[in-house]
A and B are shown apart, each in its own frame.
Chain A
Amino acid sequence: MNIFTLTAVEFKKIKRSKILLILIAATLILWFPNILNADLNFDMSDIGISPENSFFIQGFMGMAWFIYPAVMVVATVILVQTERTNHGILKMLALPVSTPLLCLAKFIVLAVAAAAFILFMTAGYYIAAAAAGALNDYSFILAPDYVLPFAGKLYLASLPMVSVFWLIAVCISTPIFSVGAGLISIVPSVLINNTKAWFVYPMGYPFYLVMTEYGEVAENIGKSQMDPIPWIPVAVGITLICLLISCLCFGRAERR
């Protein structure tokens, strides 16, 4: 079986997992209070940001700092536990399928789930901006040629984080440790983003990207720089190393 067939099989496995429901619920919880409190965005004169930019950044900030990483941790649990219940993984390992490919196929599913969440967020943003605009008689909608590239950048910046979560889920077979380690790693990201070594902590990348954008569009917010060197090489390195180790470790606990 090649990687495409394997990925298709993996998608079939999580068809009934309700992951899409969780993603949609997260989008709703995020944008609904933002619509109701949209009038707060008019009172930003001391920060020097336009209301529509403020609305956009506030929403994406709420997403990037907690719910996006947390939902990805839940998605890793889905991927791992669907195999572990009823020992499905033993059957998969007995097939003449390469285990690294199987692991990669699962990672692709995870990455697609991440893409789906960003897509929902962006769609949610446009619906929320339209609704908030109707409530306050003001156009909150930003041009798609600004929003869509930003969402794309956010997705690319989050891939190292997703690969770290995948590594944690594959290598730590005790569920409480993999879930706990994933969730707890989210909390200090804000602290680490304030230091000079922010680029070594993938869990902080999405939030850092949004904060950099905040500094760009607001006049009085401290500018933070996102220098591609050493960030990009480090991020690519972390992603590749995580994927490599998770592919090597995949199914090891079951095979012994």
Chain B
Amino acid sequence: MSFRLECKKIRRTGLAAAFLAGSVIAAALPVINTAARPDTFSSMTGSPAAILSDANLQMISMLNLLLITAGACILYHIEYADNGLQKIQSLPVRESGLFIGKCGILLPFVLMMILFETASLCFCGWRWLDAGKEELIEMLQTLGFTLLLTLPATVTALVIASACRNMWTALGIGVLCVFMATMLSTDNFIASLFPYALPFQILPGMETERVIHYCIAAVCETAAACAAEIIHLKVRRLFA
């Protein structure tokens, strides 16, 4: 019930259109980037997935994170504006159900963005770097890895948004987190575990052991963020 209700709530926020537009922009970036200077890329050594993700994935991840932050803020802003949240709290439903419903809205959008970007990167690889089937599969793996590493940031953004009554506080914290992620050095493994820094890790050229560590970290951080939200809701209820 919660999920269908959430779908109805976002109908007039323009969230779907915003994510669609964001996906198209993010998908257009690598195409423009490669089409503008195909010779630079085709003369590089390395697999198409490595070349293309080195050239584009940082920027794409940045776009994804910004859109996720803004989307999460809006999802909770529609609850806080006009005190919708109070009405939800008075209903005989669990408040954490609301959070799960919001996750159920935001995650498909993130998936959609990454699918668009995968399609665009695969197109670039096929069109300009004559990638074969194996190279395209490597591309899929790269983007799948990015999707997994984007999950902690998505859930964290929702936790921040649910904790802040004003949209700008959540947006400000989110923007600061994205900025912090760009300031952290990538060589340091511990620093790169920061949820917003994870999506900037690129799969091609990474050791298998490190990949596994990142995957475990992403799952753990997502679970930790969900746990933090549930505890936060309980505590907030106690002191409300």
21 contacts between A and B (CB under 8 A): A18-B172, A29-B176, A29-B179, A37-B185, A66-B178, A67-B175, A71-B172, A74-B171, A74-B172, A174-B13, A176-B14, A176-B71, A179-B73, A179-B171, A180-B18, A180-B21, A180-B22, A180-B70, A183-B67, A184-B22, A188-B29
| Chain A positions within 8 Å of B73 at CB level | 175, 179
**Which among B15, B175, B185 is the interface contact of A176 at CB below 8 angstroms?**
B15
The CA-CA distance from A74 to B13 in the complex, in Å, is 19
| Chain A positions within 8 Å of B81 at CB level | 84-85
Contact with B along A1-45 (1 / 0, CB 8 A): 000000000000000011100100110011001000100000000
The CA-CA distance from A179 to B170 in the complex, in Å, is 12
Given A26-B179, A29-B179, decide whether A191 and B66 contact each other with a Cβ distance below 8 A: no
Q: Classify chain A's interface size.
A: 20 to 34
Cβ-defined contact, B15 with A70, below 8 A:
no
A77 interfacial by beta-carbon distance below 8 Å: yes
The CA-CA distance from A186 to B25 in the complex, in Å, is 13
The CA-CA distance from A100 to B70 in the complex, in Å, is 28
The CA-CA distance from A70 to B65 in the complex, in Å, is 13
A93 interfacial by beta-carbon distance below 8 Å: no
B169 smallest CB distance to A (angstroms)? 6
Cβ-defined contact, A67 with B179, below 8 A:
yes
Which single residue of chain B is at the shortest CB-CB distance from A175?
B74
A177 interfacial by beta-carbon distance below 8 Å: yes
Query: Counting chain B CB atoms within 10 Å of each CB, which of A29, A71, A180 scores highest?
Result: A180
| Chain A positions within 8 Å of B176 at CB level | 22, 25-26, 29, 67
Contact with A along B1-28 (1 / 0, CB 8 A): 0000000000001110110011001000
B180 interfacial by beta-carbon distance below 8 Å: yes
The CA-CA distance from A174 to B182 in the complex, in Å, is 28
A53 interfacial by beta-carbon distance below 8 Å: no
Q: How many Cβ-Cβ contacts under 8 Å join chain A to chain B? A: 95
B170 smallest CB distance to A (angstroms)? 10
Which residues of A are at the interface with B, using a C-beta cutoff of 8 A?
17-19, 22, 25-26, 29-30, 33, 37, 62, 66-67, 70-71, 73-74, 77-78, 81, 84-85, 174-177, 179-180, 183-184, 186-188, 191
Contact with A along B47-76 (1 / 0, CB 8 A): 000000000000100110011011101100
Cβ-defined contact, B14 with A177, below 8 A:
yes
The CA-CA distance from A26 to B180 in the complex, in Å, is 9
A195 smallest CB distance to B (angstroms)? 9
B89 interfacial by beta-carbon distance below 8 Å: no
| Chain B positions within 8 Å of A70 at CB level | 175, 178-179
B193 interfacial by beta-carbon distance below 8 Å: no
Cβ-defined contact, B66 with A187, below 8 A:
yes
Cβ-defined contact, B183 with A30, below 8 A:
yes
